[in-house]
Amino acid sequence: MVKVAVLATDGVEQVELTEPVKALRAASAKVSVISLKNGQIQGMNHDQKGDMLAVDHALGSVSAEAFDALVLPGGVANPDYLRVDPKAVDFVKHFVQAGKPIAAICHGPWTLIEAGGVKGHTMTSWPSLRTDLTNAGAMWQDKPVVVDGKLITSRKPGDLPDFCREMVKLFGVGEGRQAA
């Protein structure tokens, strides 16, 4: 069974966490929401508060080595908090250095920049990250979803159907399982 970590904290764009989790679980992946704290995190619907979302594990209680793939949802505050937290950056850095599949949407690539995971990659994101990604060495494209090796990126909630389909395929779960 493929084990997937979804790294998020308060301010996460709610559907960018819930829809990938739903798609991965439907494809029989074991998904764990990892956060800076136990309990719940505040979901957002753009700039309005959404639901409180359950956290499976606090970041300090899990090891990145236990997971096969990583999802980085967006929202503005979520990745901004994560990219300044050394434990969160180290967690993401493990996936980058180990060459494990990573899926990031919207503002999620901000944390990937801090972990050294964008240089030389073709990516997309929320448009306001274009300069950040370019300055970090990525080639930015305005497309619903971009797959570059084991990295998949997407722009916004409206791109979630494409993002989830390609993520399931890249992670090798369910009907999207890649041939060995």
- Residue 178 has a pLDDT of 46
Distance CA 100, CA 78 (A): 22
- What average pLDDT does range 77-89 have in this prediction? 97
- The residues, ordered by sequence, that sit 6+ positions from 30 with a Cβ below 8 Å of its Cβ are 1, 2, 3, 4
pLDDT at 177 over 70: no
- What average pLDDT does range 116-131 have in this prediction? 98
Please report which confidence band the pLDDT of residue 92 belongs to, taking 50, 70 and 90 as the band edges.
very high
Q: Which of 46, 57, 107, 121 is catalytic?
A: 107
- The residues, ordered by sequence, that sit 6+ positions from 144 with a Cβ below 8 Å of its Cβ are 124, 154, 155, 158, 159, 162, 163
List pLDDT tens digits, range 12-32: 999 999 999 999 999 999 999
- CA-based nearest residue to 164, from 143, 139, 137, 144: 144
Catalytic residue flag (residue 107): yes
List pLDDT tens digits, range 149-176: 999 999 999 999 999 999 999 999 875 5
- Domain positions in the chain are 3-176
Please tell me the pTM assigned to this model.
Answer: 0.96
- Residue 180 has a pLDDT of 35
- Residue 176 has a pLDDT of 52
C-alpha 158: how far from chain center? 16
Class of CATH domain 3-176: alpha beta
Q: Are 7 and 70 in contact (CB under 8 A)?
A: yes
pLDDT at 70 over 90: yes
Nearest 5°: the CA angle 109, 101, 77 is 25
